[in-house]
Amino acid sequence: MTETDVECAKQAEPTQEAGTVEIFIMGKRYRVPIGFTIMKAIEYAGYQYIRSCGCRAGFCGACSTVYRKEDEQKLSFVLACQTLIEDGMYLVQIPFVPANREKYDLDELKPEDNVILSIYPEIARCVSCNTCTKSCPQDINVMQYIQCALRGDIEKAAEISFDCIQCGMCAMRCPADIKHYHVGQLARRLRGKYLDPESHDLKSRLEEMKSGKYDQGIKDLMNKSDEELTEMYRNRKIEAAGDLDNTEEVSK
């Protein structure tokens, strides 16, 4: 939050309207500046994130949030770092979903039709209610990848679940107690290990690592100061951007 944001909001408080919206956090009313994400608004209201916050960029899935709008019976499930506040939101932060991952040794599994079912037999209990799909902030067709896993279509289950960020919002609402994101992860692991063609780039990079090519570089990094690391980060070359100057992007 910038000083300008705070100043604008303070100026708006006495009249309680201009540039702000009314939200409720754990039942308590707050007015916060328009344009904030839920995460920023919660911090602006004075709360500090100890958990349920990670990347702040929609990747880690840590910031699952539930809200309901006034006069709406339906609950909405979103990521706090990616969703803008709206007037009349009643917000609740929810703790991490404690859905345990089953233990398995990927080297001992085979990419056969029933392999996922044998590790996560509860997928056979799916009643096709589609609640998981409706809960997903990544717009993944979650029910479809569970059905693919059930049919033994590992490739498709891996492909459909590829954008999963493991937030757990599907699992917390599933009436069949399915741990969807672990199912998708297993499908992707099986596909990566057994079904996709071998990546030559990855193979040669692994060989380089094993030969110790990067050991000295890592030691040098460990000995650098925070300032030196920050400078290196600012001047880093982003592969996808080729030789473009990324200084402006990084300094934002």
Paired sense of beta strands 89-93 and 20-25, if any: parallel
Question: Nearest CA to 92 among 80, 74, 104, 106?
Answer: 80
Least distance to ligand FES, CB of residue 31, Å: 23
Give residue 240's identity as a one-letter amino acid code: A
Closest separation between CB of residue 165 and ligand SF4, Å? 5
* 44 neighbors 1 (Cβ within 8 angstroms): yes
The partner in contact with residue 168, picked from ligand SF4, ligand FES, none with C-beta cut-offs of 5 to 8 angstroms by kind, is: ligand SF4
Closest CB to ligand SF4 among residues 20, 161:
161
Residue 85 interacts with which of ligand SF4, ligand FES, none, CB < 5 to 8 Å by class: none
Residues between 48 and 67 with contacts to ligand FES, criterion CB under 6 A: 53-56, 58-63
CB closer to ligand SF4 out of 16 and 128: 128
Alpha-carbon distance of 53 to 30, in angstroms, equals 21
Q: Determine the length of the chain.
A: 252
Per DSSP, helices labelled H in 98-225 are 115-119, 131-135, 142-151, 154-160, 180-190, 200-210, 215-222
Q: What is the smallest separation between the CB atom of 61 and ligand FES, expressed in angstroms?
A: 5
Provide the minimum distance between the beta carbon of 49 and ligand FES in the complex, in angstroms, as a whole number.
Answer: 9
Residues forming the site for ligand FES (CB under 6 A) = 53-56, 58-63, 79, 81
